[in-house]
Structure formats: structure tokens, C-alpha cells
């Protein structure tokens, strides 16, 4: 019989990496081993995989990769990424919690912030870690669960109201091609309230990075949480960012995803509405240019009756970039009286750009109101004419209209400083 | 009228479930090259046709059954199907008198009275019918009247014999045998079907119609329809189908191809009422059909209208390739599922030419334990400037054990495109019901009224004869589904 020589694929390399580093990883090893098995079953998705049809993950993960970076950034470099002045700052540098630069010394009452690898014995950690992010549903969840190197654990105690936003800065700085797996767990207990901003930045990086990051968010009964994700990884950062959120009775969760740059951005936002009278808002804005690929996947899983969800994603696509929106509303049999709405609007400004959109409804309950709408087009000629008739140049008329298009999402930002920051970024972009 | 519908609702069982006792000439069960040679020989086909079949068969053997659709069923055993069944005695039929009286009775039961139509031939509303029973086309009416205008309307088998140049040129040009699993299977084993050619500048004076009927037990039906509209031609084509009630699942895998040349228009309407299985989901037809049209040249138009009420499992996406500039594609659909029926249906609109337009209106109604999915693709290719698409997919749920799903894919590569998609899912509005009831209309009737109103946009597109039948069908299909 002929012997088949096995090609050393990225999958094999990842598995080998786990074997060599498993002694130094935090948490329960059995969870990691199960996850690794789930990952080796699923493998890296190719273009034939329905969920990863429009992003070429095989291409993104081609070549040699390291699994950590030893670069330590200076305080000044880190400061340059702190765009919120009034915030509790946490720094996750190259997939690991950075104690030195994180301002966790004088935290308000009811707030606990730990390096996730120090949180292993915490009760909330034990209760929730890896409970909701299903390793069998996505290979990148499995990969992260098996290889996670670090991140932050945030615990907001019962009835605690944290007024200042918590800003988690994920900084990547690599000298060689590197795959990073960071993992965060956020627990907001009953009647508590918190605002969390996650930003993704690349500073002084010389090679390709692939960030596979996963944030689990648990929102207990009557809790309120605002979540912001700002992705700005320039022209060479690649990122798969998964947010797994679970909401309990009467909680309110608002999440915003702003994708401003990045070579390849894939967002998986999975929301589980596991209780009655829940309110969820999902907002997203993506501005793409160059050869960028942005793929937003959202899943809203209505499990219980009387919940509301509202989703709004908008995008402006320029040059050779491609943007994908794939949103699913899933209404289970028991989830009567569900109101679920979804809207996706795109403007395509170049003939080389691509928009793929797949808004889906999967509904098993009858007393519901669900709808989705999507539209794709160019800038309205009539509107341009109106503005030009009032003395604006064509360029500034277009700029004004693009601003107006984006402002529907930008206006949902509740933190003034953050809104100003995003607006400034957009203005700069459209110059 | 409403009373009649109600009466039918109460007794609303599948009324086409009879079996006609006609002796049939069957091929043995199973599928291999010999069976294909047998079919080809039976049909007295030329060598090139057999070669095409064998090529398709070879390719089919390399394929795996697709499983991406939102349906679940036991995979048919392709070796346990009779691939050829012809009603016997098979003689060349010249006039109606020569038709087996049993067969004529079948048609009467089906509500297609050929005699009556012959008699009414002077009347404005006329339909020429090609009837395909099991695997063989048994009768084509009005052939002579049509041939005066140069229109060719005959069974596929006849077309292979008499118009091989047309068949050779167009067959497989829209749905190649490499297209998908069932298209490959069909290309290998298809037994008959309809062929229609409308010559340059001719507007077909009557509606053309094909009626499909599965009769024999254990058979699969694999027919092929090919419609060609030459420059400036127009035709409206109807298709209907029924089958007897049986406990087994029978397979229907058809291929329909439409080609339109410059300024031509084809309107294709389907009322699909294959046996859906009983209340417990036993039996019923697997309806796995590939339908596609191509607007080959400028200013042409293809319009699909379908009313889907039958079949245990439906898997069907009538599509349009908009290749010519200024061409237009339309898709209007009502899909009803009840009991344990499953439907995964929708359309594909491929915009390639400039200034192309497409409209998609899909109305799904699910009741009982059924699942009803819309799956569609709108693709605007690079360079297809000023393409325009509007899609609307509405779903209506009746009962809390059924499911309604929407899976639209939209892929855009041209900046001048304008594409809109809307979908809603809801149940019948309490306020609408209250409005009707406060005016003395009882619950069932009110629901009938609301459902018909909900589907109106699509039903309006059907030819008159079909619209009446479709309305009744909707009511029967939803019988007892609302409490």
C-alpha cells in the first residue's frame, strides 16, 4: 500500500501548539481538550463552508505563524490608544492581560476586574466560563477555548451601578506573523449596570497578525449593559471577533460594532435571549476600502416569550473592498409575542466592491412580529442635486450624505467622548 | 362560492388521490446503463441522445445528494424506483376516439375535459394541453391549430424525432446536466415532457398547458420541458400536476428550460398539487425540480408564477438569467404547507446584462407541523449597470407548531445597482379578524378572506382559469388549520 504523506496544515500546527503549551495555560485542561477535539473535527473553514462563504480563512491563515509576541509597548505608545479620558482602562497586550498599564487599583464599589488567568477560582468564573460559547458551533470558538492565553475577567456585583465606562484596549504589536487568542468574561449581576468599550488597535506592528478573540457576556435579570466594539486594525490586521452574550429576564443589552479599518474582519455576534421581557439592540457600522474584507454575522436567539430585539447595520463600501452582512433571527416555539426587527443598508461606491447580504428569519412561533429589510444602492441622485442646487460642490454634497447615512448608527452612542471620537474618524475617512 | 369553499374545507381531503386502472408497460426497478439504454430504445432515440444520457449518468454517479436545504426526509433509494412506465397499449394517437376510455375518465376526474375544449375551440379562452402520465406524453391537443402559425407544441419524445436540430441546440443550454444532482439524474433518465417553440414574431393565440400525472406505483417521474421563444414571440404556459394517494414517497425530478430571444416574452405558471402525504406525514411526493430560464437577448422577459400546495417535500427554485440588456425577470409565488409538508422554495435572479430588472414576490403560509422556507439569490454581476431588484417575502404562520423561514442571499458587485429586500413574518392580525367578525363573517370564512387577500398580488398574475382553481386549492390546503 502507498503511504500518504500528511501535509503539515495550519490545523496540525495549531494542534501541535496546544500540545506543547498546554502546561502553561490557565483554567481547566479538560475544557481545553474537549475544545481542541471539537476544533480538529471542524477544521479551518474553507469557501465551501456556508458560514464562511464570503471570507477566505484558508488564505488568511496561510504561511507560518507564531502564537505569542514578546514585544512590550511603552507607556507612551499605549497612551496613544486611550481615546476615552474618563474611563477605567484595561490593557490586553498581544492576547495577555497587562497589569502594569491597566488602571485597576482604585475601582468603584461592586466592580471586580482580574486577569482572567487569576480568576480561575472565582465563583462567577466557575459558573459561567465556557458555558455559553458553544465549541461545536464554530471552529474559532473551539480554537479560542483550547488555546486562550489571557484576557480580562470583569464582574459587576448585584445592584452595582458603574458610571464610568470600562475601556478594554486590545493592542497588537508583532514582529512576525502571529495568531493570538484572547478571551474575556464579563458578568453583570442582577440589577447592576455597566458600560464596556472594547477597542482593537495595532501599534508598531511589522507583520501579519491574526486575532481570534472571544468575549462572553452574561447579563443577569434586570441588569443593563451597553457594549461597544471599535475595530481599527489598519490595513494589515486580521481579526475574528466573537461575542457570546446571554441575557436573563427583563435585562437590557445594547451592543455597537464599529469597523473602521482592518485587512480582514469577521464578527460573530451571538445573542441568546433566555428570559421574558428582554430588550436587545444591535447596531453596527462598517466603512471599508482598499482590499478590506468585513463580514458581520449576527444571531439573535429568542428563547422565551415577550422579548424585543432590534438590529441596525449599515455599511459604506469603497474601492476593492467587500462587505458581508449575515443576520439571523431565530424564534423558538415558546417565544410567543416576540418582536424582532432587522435592517441592513449599504452604499456601494465602486464597481470593484462587493456586497453580500443574507438576512434570515427562522421562526417557529406564530404570535410574533418579525421583519427584516435590506437595501443596497448608490447615493441618491436627487439628494445630490438638491444639495448642489444650494451651492455645495459635488464632493462635499456626497460627503454630507455619507455622514448623514452613518449618523443613524453613530447617534446611538451614549458616551459623548466616544461619539466625538468616532465622528472625527469618519470625517477623516471621507476627506 | 364561499360556502362551496367551506364545504370543501370540511371534507377537504386530497381529491386527486384516485388510481387509474390502466395497464402500464414498466421497466424493471433500478438504475444502471442498461435501463438508460432501454429507455432510449423504447423511445426510439437517435445515438446523440443516448450519448447525452450516458454522459449525464456517468456524471450523476460522481455526485452526492445535496443536503443544504431546510428540509429533512429519508433519502430516496434510487435503485428502488421504476424509471420508465408507459400506459399501455401505446399506439400512435391521431384522434381522441383512439384514446383509452379509462384514460379519458382520468382526465375528466382531473377536471380537464379534452372534449369540451375541442368543442369550445371557437371561444376566446382556449388552452392547448399536453398531458404527461407517468413517464409518457399521452395526448397533445390543438396541435394542428397551432402548427398553422408555425408553433411547435408536442411531446419531448416527438421533438427529438422531428426537430432534432432545435432540441440539440437548446437542450441543456440553460440547465446543463452538470448543474446539480437531480438535473443530472433527470438528464440521464428523463422519459418525456413537453417541447414548445414559438417562431419569430408570433404571439401564441392560446394558453399552452402541460398536465403531469404520476399514476403507477413505485415509479418516479422525470420529465423535461423546453420552451423557446424566438424574436418578438410571446407565449403563456401553464403547468399542473397531481398524483394518487400512496403510502410510499414517490420522486418527481423534472427539468424546465426556457430560452427567450430578442423582445420575446414567456410567462410560465404552475399550480403544483402533487399528493402531499396524509395527516401524519406518511407518503407524498418528493418534488425536486430544476427550473430555469435565460433571457438570452435584449428586451426579453421571463415571468414565473407558482402556486405550491402539494408535495411532501418541495425543493424548487425557478430562476432567471438576465443576460440580454433591458431584460426582465419576475417571480411570483404562493407556497402553502400544512400537516407535515416541507417546502424550501424560492428563486435566483442573475443580473448580467445592462438595465436589467427583476421582481420577486413570495408569500408563504405554514400551518400544522409544516416548515416553509423561502431561499433566494439576487446576484448583480460586475458590469451589470443600472440593475434593479425588488424582493418581498412575507410569511404567515397558522398555529404554533409550524415554522416559517427566510434565507435570502444578495450579492452585489456593481455600484449602480439598486437592490431592496423586505420580509415579514406574522400571524393573521387580530384586528383584521375582528373587523370581519364584527360584520357577521364567521371565523373560517374570515380567514379564507384574509388569506386570499394576502395572496392577491400573486393570484392576480395567474391566467383566469388557474386563478379560480388556485383560490379553491388554498382553502382546501389550509382546511382545519385554524382554531
**Mean pLDDT value of segment A122-132:** 93
Of the candidates A350, A360, A375, the beta carbon closest to that of B407 is on A360
Where a domain ends, among A274, A291, A326? A274
pLDDT tens digits, B311-347: 889 989 999 999 999 999 999 999 988 888 999 999 9
Residues A20 and A157 in one domain: yes
pLDDT surpassing 90 at residue A388: yes
C-alpha B232/C-alpha A143 separation (Å) is 60
Compute the C-alpha angle B47/B50/B54, nearest 5°: 140
Residue A281 lies in a domain: no
Calculate the alpha carbon distances from A134 to A207, A242, B255 in Å: 31, 11, 41
Categorize the per-residue pLDDT at B7 as very low, low, confident or very high, splitting at 50, 70 and 90: very low
Considering only residues A207 and B474, tell me which one the structure prediction assigns the higher pLDDT: A207
Query: Using one digit for the tens of pLDDT, what is the confidence trace for B401-412?
Result: 888 999 999 999
- CB < 8 Å to A370, chain B: 424-426
**Which 3 state secondary structure label does DSSP give A140?**
helix
State residue B8's pLDDT score.
45
At a CB cut-off of 8 Å and minimum separation 6, what does A79 contact? none
Question: Mutate which of B342, B382, B400, B407 to disrupt the A interface (most A C-beta within 10 Å)?
Answer: B400
Are the beta carbons of B409 and A336 separated by less than 8 Å? no
pLDDT of residue A85: 87
Q: Would you put residue A275 in left (φ > 0), alpha (ψ -120 to 50) or beta?
A: left
Higher local confidence (pLDDT), B132 or A278 = A278
Q: What is the pLDDT of residues A396-420, one digit of tens each?
A: 999 999 999 999 999 999 999 999 9
Nearest to B415 among A353, A367, A374 (CB): A353
- Assign A318 a pLDDT band (cuts: 50, 70, 90): very high
Query: Exposure pattern of A52-76 as b/e (b: 16+ CB <10 Å)?
Result: bbbbebeebbeeebbbbbebebeee
- Least confident interval from A112-116, A144-148, B6-10: B6-10
pLDDT score of B481: 57
Q: How far apart are CA A31 and CA A37, in angstroms?
A: 10
Q: Do B406 and A378 touch (CB under 8 A)?
A: no
How much is the pLDDT for A4?
45
Task: Please answer yes or no on whether A366 and B383 come within 8 Å at the CB atom.
Answer: no
For residue A378, what are the contacts with CB-CB under 8 A and spacing of at least 6?
A347, A348, A349, B415, B416, B417, B418
Whole-number percent of chain B with pLDDT over 90: 34
Angle at A41 between CA A37 and CA A46, to 5 degrees: 135
Please report which helix (H) or strand (E) contains residue B304, including its range. Answer: strand B301-308
Whether residue B111 contacts residue B472, with contact meaning beta carbons closer than 8 Å, is answered with no
The residue that leads in pLDDT, B209 or B268, is B268
What are the backbone angles phi and psi of residue A285, rounded to the nearest 5°? -140, 130
For B88-111, what is each residue's pLDDT tens digit? 543 444 444 545 565 556 555 555
Contact B248, B217 (CB under 8 A): yes
Residue A339 lies in a domain: no
Does residue A331 lie in a domain region? no
- Quick check: B2 pLDDT over 70? no
Run of H or E residues at B146:
helix B143-148
Alpha carbon distance B297, B323 (integer Å): 7
Contacts of A357 in chain B (CB under 8 A): 408-410, 421
The ipTM estimated for the assembled molecules is 0.82
Highest averaged pLDDT of the listed ranges A71-85, A147-161, B55-69? A147-161
For residues B432 and B482, the model is more confident at: B432
CA distance A24 to A359: 42
The C-alpha cell at B432 is 383584521
Q: Give the list of residues 6+ apart from residue A88 with CB closer than 8 angstroms, or none.
A: A103, A104, A107, A111, A113, A162, A164, A165, A166, A167
Q: Which of A333, A349, A357 sits opposite B400 (nearest CB)?
A: A333
CA distance B27 to A110: 79
Alpha-carbon gap, residue A353 to A408, rounded angstroms = 23
What CA–CA distances, in Å, run from B188 to B25, B182, B184, B193? 20, 10, 6, 14
Task: Collect all residues of chain A within an 8 Å Cβ-Cβ radius of residue B422.
Answer: 371-373
Residue in the block written with cell 455526485:
B63
User: Which pLDDT score, from 0 to 100, does residue A131 have?
Assistant: 92
Write down the residue that cell numbers 426587527 correspond to: A341
- Position B275 confidence tier, pLDDT thresholds 50, 70, 90: confident
Residue A130 to residues A179, A217, A381, B273, Cα–Cα distance (Å): 21, 11, 50, 49
Q: Does residue A5 have a pLDDT over 50?
A: no
Q: Tell me the mean pLDDT in the region A259-276.
A: 95
**Is A336 within a domain?**
no
The number of domains in chain A is 2
For position A37, what pLDDT does the model report? 92
Query: Do A393 and A261 share a structural domain?
Result: no
**Separation between Cα atoms, residue B233 and residue B236, nearest integer Å:** 11
Pairs of CB atoms within 8 A across A/B = 118
Domain presence at residue A1: no
Residue among B400, B412, B416 whose CB faces A355 most closely: B412
In a domain, A330, yes or no: no
Q: Which domain range does residue A388 map to? A: 381-431
Cα separation, B69 vs B288, in Å, equals: 11
Q: Which residues of A touch B404 (CB under 8 A)?
A: 361, 363
| Those residues with Cβ within 8 angstroms of residue A89's Cβ, 6 or more apart along the chain or in another chain | A82, A101, A102, A103, A167, A169
**Best residue of A311, A363, A380 to probe chain B, by most B CBs closer than 10 Å:** A363
The predicted structure's pLDDT at residue B31? 84
A407, three cell numbers: 449618523
State residue A382's pLDDT score.
93
Are the CB atoms for A81 and A169 separated by under 8 Å? yes
Smallest CA-to-CA distance from A259 within A318, A212, A200, A322 is with A200
pLDDT at A50 over 70: yes
pLDDT of the residue at B18: 61
pLDDT at B90: 39
Q: Does A217 fall in a domain?
A: yes
Confidence label for B474 from pLDDT (cuts 50, 70 and 90): confident
The answer to whether A372 contacts B422, with C-beta atoms less than 8 Å apart, is: yes
Q: How many CB atoms lie within 10 A of CB A392?
A: 15
Alpha carbon of residue B230 to chain centroid: 22
Question: How confident is residue A121, by pLDDT bands cut at 50, 70 and 90?
Answer: very high
Mean pLDDT of B284-295: 91
Residue whose cell numbers read 436587545: A280
Residue B3 has pLDDT above 70, yes or no: no
Which of residues A215, A246, A274 is at a domain's end?
Answer: A274
Q: Which of A240, A274, A308 is the last residue of a domain?
A: A274
Could you tell me the pLDDT band of residue B133, with boundaries at 50, 70 and 90?
A: low
Q: What percent of chain A has pLDDT over 70?
A: 98
What is the per-residue pLDDT across A172-229, written as a single tens digit (0 to 9) for each?
A: 999 989 999 999 999 999 999 999 999 999 988 888 899 999 999 999 999 999 999 9
Q: Nine-digit cell at A355?
A: 456586497
Angle separating helix axes B47-61 and B33-42, nearest 10 degrees: 150
The per-residue pLDDT for A275 is: 95
Under 8 Å between Cβ of A206 and A71: no
* Domain-embedded: residue A301: no
**Grid coordinates representing B154?**
408536442
Please state, in angstroms and rounded to a whole number, the distance separating the CA atoms of residues B84 and A30: 58
Given a cut of 70, whether residue B21 has pLDDT beyond it is no
Find cell 462635499 and name the residue: A396
Please state the rounded mean pLDDT for residues B336-365: 92
Q: Is the pLDDT of residue B298 over 90?
A: yes
Cross-chain Cβ contact B427/A366 below 8 Å: yes
Amino acid at each position: 500500500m502507498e503511504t500518504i504523506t500528511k501535509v503539515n496544515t495550519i490545523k496540525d500546527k495549531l494542534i501541535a501548539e496546544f500540545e506543547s503549551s498546554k502546561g502553561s495555560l490557565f483554567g481547566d485542561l479538560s475544557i481545553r481538550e474537549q475544545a481542541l477535539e471539537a476544533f480538529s473535527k471542524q477544521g479551518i473553514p474553507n469557501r465551501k463552508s456556508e458560514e464562511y462563504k464570503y471570507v477566505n480563512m484558508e488564505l488568511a491563515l496561510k504561511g507560518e505563524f507564531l502564537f505569542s509576541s514578546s514585544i512590550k509597548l511603552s507607556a507612551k505608545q499605549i497612551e496613544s490608544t486611550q481615546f476615552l479620558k474618563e474611563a477605567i482602562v484595561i490593557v490586553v497586550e498581544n492576547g495577555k492581560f497587562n497589569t502594569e498599564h491597566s488602571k485597576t487599583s482604585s475601582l468603584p464599589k461592586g466592580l471586580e476586574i482580574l486577569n482572567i488567568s487569576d480568576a480561575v477560582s472565582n465563583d462567577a468564573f466557575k459558573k459561567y466560563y465556557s458555558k455559553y460559547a458553544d465549541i461545536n458551533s464554530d471552529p474559532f470558538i473551539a480554537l479560542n477555548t483550547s488555546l486562550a492565553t489571557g484576557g480580562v475577567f470583569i464582574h459587576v456585583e448585584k445592584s452595582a451601578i458603574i458610571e464610568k465606562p470600562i475601556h478594554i484596549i486590545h493592542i497588537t504589536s508583532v514582529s512576525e506573523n502571529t495568531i493570538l487568542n484572547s478571551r474575556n468574561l464579563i458578568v453583570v449581576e442582577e440589577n447592576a449596570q455597566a458600560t464596556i468599550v472594547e477597542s482593537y488597535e495595532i501599534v508598531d506592528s511589522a507583520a501579519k497578525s491574526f486575532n481570534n478573540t472571544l468575549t462572553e457576556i452574561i447579563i443577569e435579570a434586570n441588569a443593563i449593559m451597553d457594549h461597544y466594539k471599535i475595530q481599527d486594525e489598519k490595513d494589515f490586521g486580521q481579526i475574528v471577533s466573537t461575542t457570546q452574550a446571554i441575557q436573563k429576564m427583563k435585562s437590557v443589552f445594547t451592543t455597537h460594532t464599529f469597523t473602521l479599518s482592518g485587512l480582514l474582519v469577521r464578527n460573530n455576534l451571538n445573542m441568546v435571549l433566555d428570559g421574558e421581557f428582554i430588550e436587545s439592540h444591535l447596531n453596527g457600522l462598517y466603512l471599508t476600502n482598499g482590499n478590506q474584507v468585513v463580514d458581520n454575522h449576527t444571531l439573535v436567539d429568542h428563547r422565551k416569550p415577550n422579548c424585543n430585539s432590534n438590529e441596525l447595520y449599515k455599511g459604506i463600501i469603497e474601492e476593492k473592498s467587500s462587505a458581508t452582512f449575515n443576520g439571523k433571527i431565530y424564534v423558538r416555539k415558546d417565544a410567543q409575542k416576540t418582536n424582532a426587527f432587522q435592517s441592513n443598508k449599504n452604499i456601494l461606491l465602486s464597481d470593484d466592491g462587493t456586497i453580500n447580504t443574507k438576512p434570515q428569519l427562522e421562526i417557529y412561533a406564530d404570535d410574533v412580529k418579525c421583519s427584516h429589510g435590506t437595501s443596497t444602492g448608490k447615493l441618491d441622485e436627487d439628494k445630490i442635486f438638491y444639495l448642489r442646487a444650494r451651492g455645495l460642490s459635488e464632493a462635499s454634497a456626497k460627503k454630507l450624505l455619507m455622514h448623514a447615512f452613518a449618523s443613524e448608527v453613530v447617534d446611538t452612542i451614549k458616551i459623548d467622548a466616544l461619539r466625538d471620537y468616532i465622528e472625527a474618524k469618519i470625517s477623516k475617512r471621507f476627506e | 362560492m364561499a360556502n362551496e369553499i367551506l364545504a370543501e374545507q370540511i371534507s377537504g381531503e386530497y381529491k386527486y388521490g384516485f388510481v387509474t386502472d390502466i395497464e402500464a408497460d414498466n421497466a424493471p426497478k433500478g438504475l444502471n446503463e442498461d435501463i438508460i439504454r432501454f429507455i432510449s430504445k423504447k423511445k426510439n432515440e437517435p445515438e446523440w441522445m443516448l450519448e447525452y444520457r450516458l454522459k449525464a449518468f456517468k456524471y450523476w454517479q460522481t455526485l452526492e445528494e445535496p443536503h443544504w436545504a431546510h428540509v429533512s426526509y429519508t433519502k430516496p433509494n434510487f435503485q428502488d424506483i421504476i424509471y420508465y412506465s408507459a400506459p399501455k397499449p401505446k399506439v400512435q394517437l391521431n384522434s381522441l376516439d383512439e384514446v383509452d376510455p379509462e384514460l379519458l375518465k382520468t382526465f375528466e376526474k382531473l377536471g380537464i375535459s379534452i372534449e369540451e375544449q375541442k368543442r369550445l375551440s371557437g371561444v376566446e379562452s382556449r388552452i392547448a394541453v399536453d398531458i404527461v402520465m407517468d413517464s409518457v406524453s399521452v395526448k397533445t391537443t390543438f396541435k394542428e391549430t397551432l402548427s398553422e402559425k408555425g408553433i411547435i407544441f408536442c411531446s419531448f419524445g416527438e421533438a427529438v424525432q422531428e426537430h432534432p436540430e432545435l432540441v440539440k441546440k437548446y437542450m441543456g443550454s440553460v440547465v446543463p446536466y452538470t448543474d446539480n444532482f437531480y438535473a443530472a439524474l433527470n438528464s440521464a433518465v428523463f422519459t418525456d415532457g413537453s417541447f414548445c417553440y414559438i417562431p419569430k414574431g408570433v404571439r401564441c393565440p392560446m394558453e399552452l398547458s402541460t398536465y403531469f400525472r404520476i399514476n403507477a406505483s413505485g415509479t418516479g417521474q422525470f420529465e423535461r420541458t423546453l420552451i423557446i421563444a424566438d424574436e418578438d414571440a410571446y407565449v403563456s404556459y401553464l403547468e399542473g400536476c397531481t398524483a394518487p394517494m400512496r403510502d410510499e414517497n414517490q420522486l418527481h425530478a423534472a427539468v424546465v428550460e426556457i430560452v427567450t430571444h430578442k423582445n420575446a416574452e414567456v410567462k410560465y405558471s404552475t399550480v403544483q398539487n402533487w399528493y402531499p402525504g396524509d395527516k401524519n406525514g406518511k407518503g407524498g411526493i418528493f418534488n425536486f425540480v430544476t427550473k430555469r430560464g435565460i433571457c438570452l437577448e435584449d428586451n426579453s422577459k421571463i415571468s414565473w408564477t407558482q402556486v405550491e400546495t402539494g408535495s411532501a417535500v418541495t425543493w424548487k427554485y425557478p430562476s432567471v438569467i438576465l443576460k440580454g440588456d433591458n431584460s426582465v425577470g419576475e417571480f411570483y409565488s404562493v407556497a402553502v404547507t400544512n400537516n407535515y409538508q416541507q417546502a424550501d422554495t424560492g428563486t435566483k435572479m442573475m443580473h448580467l446584462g445592462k438595465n436589467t430588472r427583476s421582481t420577486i414576490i413570495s408569500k408563504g403560509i405554514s400551518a400544522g407541523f409544516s416548515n416553509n422556507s423561502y431561499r433566494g439569490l439576487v446576484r448583480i454581476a460586475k458590469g451589470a449597470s443600472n440593475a434593479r431588484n425588488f424582493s418581498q417575502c412575507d410569511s404567515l404562520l397558522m398555529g404554533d407548531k409550524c415554522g416559517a423561514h427566510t434565507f435570502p442571499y444578495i450579492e452585489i458587485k456593481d455600484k449602480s445597482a439598486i437592490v431592496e429586500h423586505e420580509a415579514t413574518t406574522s400571524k393573521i392580525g387580530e384586528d383584521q379578524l375582528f373587523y370581519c367578525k364584527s360584520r357577521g363573517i364567521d371565523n373560517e370564512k374570515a380567514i379564507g378572506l384574509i388569506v386570499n387577500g394576502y395572496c392577491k398580488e400573486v393570484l392576480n398574475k395567474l391566467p383566469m382559469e388557474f386563478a379560480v382553481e388556485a383560490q379553491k386549492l388554498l382553502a382546501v390546503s389550509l382546511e382545519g388549520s385554524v382554531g
